[in-house]
Structure 1
């Protein structure tokens, strides 16, 4: 069981990005049903973003609508929101003024319907010392307007620097069977050392590990993945080899590939020198949410099989396109 800002949130959280950040987002009715289903299935940690959509319609607006309809759920949910960008752009702004604007905007849109448990800048501003950014966020914690501070897509070095300024409640980074970088670059190690839980986003490899995508043409035209390095035609077949291996194990276990992928993250959480890890799969339908919250239990033989798969497989292509990779803190 993972604890965040003194509250137990279970072992699996919920990512809200897909509900508002796409060309053709789900209807309000479907989105509200998805949020309700996530909570019903035990996902008490919700992760959204000021940047997940437009200034007029993003995670905060949807959350306001949800907690207006279900005010009794406000205390059941631990909410984390990403911000720290210049409005209407993907330009990082970790300055004190930028952070204050972002948090104030989030609180304004929530309108008291839900407290802001965690806030994190979506990316580290390489033009602003991280100490300055953390100091600005910490002002809101000390004032009782914010529960705690989280970090997103940070290096081990940045985590250490930030933690010297204020307690860090969580670190959100990508982790899945085809994105294991944090297990090797020191991020997981420093989080374990400092007792900081990891929030694992894209635990299903942006849908790739579900087994639903069999060819490049299967990727929806309105999906960002269509333009991302790991999904391109020249590397697709190579990367699909991992999915086929996971599908084979899933067949033996009588479950879905997605349940294997999430089960693997849970199996390494808090083990062998790693910190607690909370995967936050995102889904827009009640059926998919139910599937994601019933991961398979993996035994030692299963884990050994997965280790062999990972040792023999090399993913091809960066996690993000060049312009986005340039924003990753390394």
Structure 2
């Protein structure tokens, strides 16, 4: 059993972005049913953000509705919420005033239904030193019992090493999948292992492409912002489908779905030599998809070799994010 800030969490967590940060969010009843299914299947590490949706419907308002209906579940969930950005521009702002504004807003919108276990700035603010940002969080929120711990998000190895010297870091949220294995080679995973920090691995299904559901670029339009990413433009998308086809073939051979194989590969990286605890946090907006993602597929060393050989031989087309979007800092 994995642990985050001394709390036991399931081997697979849950990403909440898809519920509220898309052109047409799913109905609230559907979202609450999916959340309940996640918890019932051991997915107890939940990850959302202050900016996942407008003020009237975002991660916190959804969670408030859920925990109002199921107050007995509050202590069963370990909750991470990202903030620390200008909500109008989404630019990083780790200044004391904005961090206070962000945390106060998150806590207020949760409405006392659930304690905020971990908070991270979505990206590092280049204009505010980490010790200044962390100092406010520690003294005004952790020490006063309003918050459990500090987390990091979308950061590089240098930031992890620097942050670990200043504060106790509860987890690091970074992207990891068959589609995006970068952190295994760029020092991020190694830095987390060095400091004993678990990784919360977002987009383990490659933003949905590794499910095999997307066969045409137009299939992505319902997901709004993601459709603008370089990897999902027509030429790159058609090239990247060749990787998806190989994943689908391996999943068929294994007797699982492509999504389960993809999540299983991420989960199987956890605590390998030189790597920290790694908890994949796939997102899904229906109970059926949650059920699918929650199944832990155990991969043999032969399975891992087949997947790793595919990764090594395939060059993914397109950058992770569009031009102008913040990168790991």
What TM-score does the superposition give when structure 1 sets the normalisation length?
0.97
2:25 aligned partner: 25
Aligned counterparts of 2:102 and 2:119: Cα–Cα separation in 1: 10
Matches within 5 A, 1:179-258: 179-258=180-259
Is the 2:23–2:222 Cα contact (8 Å) retained in structure 1? no
Query: Are 1:54 and 1:88, in contact at CA under 8 Å, matched by a contact in 2?
Result: no
Partner of 2:150: 149
* Secondary structure at 2:99 match in 1: helix
> Which residue is equivalent to 1:159?
160
The whole-number CA distance in structure 2 between the counterparts of 1:291 and 1:102 is 34
Superposed counterparts of 1:75-154, under 5 Å: 75-139=75-139, 140-154=141-155
Distance in structure 2 (CA, Å) of the matches to 1:172 and 1:200: 6
Q: Secondary structure at the match of 2:324?
A: helix
- Quote the offset at 1:133 in angstroms: 1.5
1:39-54 equivalences under 5 Å are: 39-54=39-54
1: CA distance, partners of 2:68 / 2:283: 22
Match in the other structure for 1:288:
289
Please give the per-residue CA displacement for 1:235-264, whole angstroms capped at 9, x wherever unaligned: 122211111111111111111110110111
**Is the contact between residue 46 and residue 80 of structure 1 (CA under 8 Å) also seen in structure 2?**
yes
Distance 1:296 1:2 in 2: 16
Cα distance in 2 for partners of 1:181, 1:138 equals: 31
**2 CA distance for matches of 1:193 and 1:285?**
37
Cα deviation code 1:277-330 (max 9, x no counterpart): 000000000000000011321111111111110111011111010111xx2134
* 1:46 match: secondary structure: strand
- CA positional deviation for 1:222: 4.4
Deviates more, 1:136-145 or 1:306-315: 136-145
For residues 167 and 144 of structure 2, the distance between their equivalents in structure 1, rounded to whole angstroms, comes to 14
How far is 1:86 from its partner?
1.5
SS at match of 2:206: coil
CA contact (8 A) 1:176 1:204 kept: yes
Residues in 1 aligned to 2:118 and 2:284: alpha-carbon distance in whole angstroms: 21
Q: Could you say which residue in structure 2 is the equivalent of 1:309? A: 310
Change over 3 Å in CA distance of 1:307–1:222 after alignment to 2 = closer
Q: Secondary structure at the match of 2:221?
A: coil
SS in 1 for 2:207: coil
Q: Is the 1:171–1:198 contact (alpha carbons within 8 Å) kept by the matching residues of 2?
A: yes
Corresponding residue SS for 2:81? strand
Shift of 1:111: 1.6
- Match of residue 3 from structure 1: 3
CA deviations over 1:56-95 (Å, ceiling 9, x no partner): 2211111111111111001111111000112333121101
Gapped regions of structure 1 (runs ≥ 5): none
Name the SS for the 1:207 alignment partner.
Answer: helix
Structure 2: gaps (5+ residues): none
- In 1, the alpha carbon distance for the partners of 2:318 and 2:87 equals 30
Q: Distance in 2 between matches of 1:293 and 1:222?
A: 22
- In the TM superposition, residue 221 of structure 1 has moved relative to its aligned partner by 4.1
RMSD: 1.1
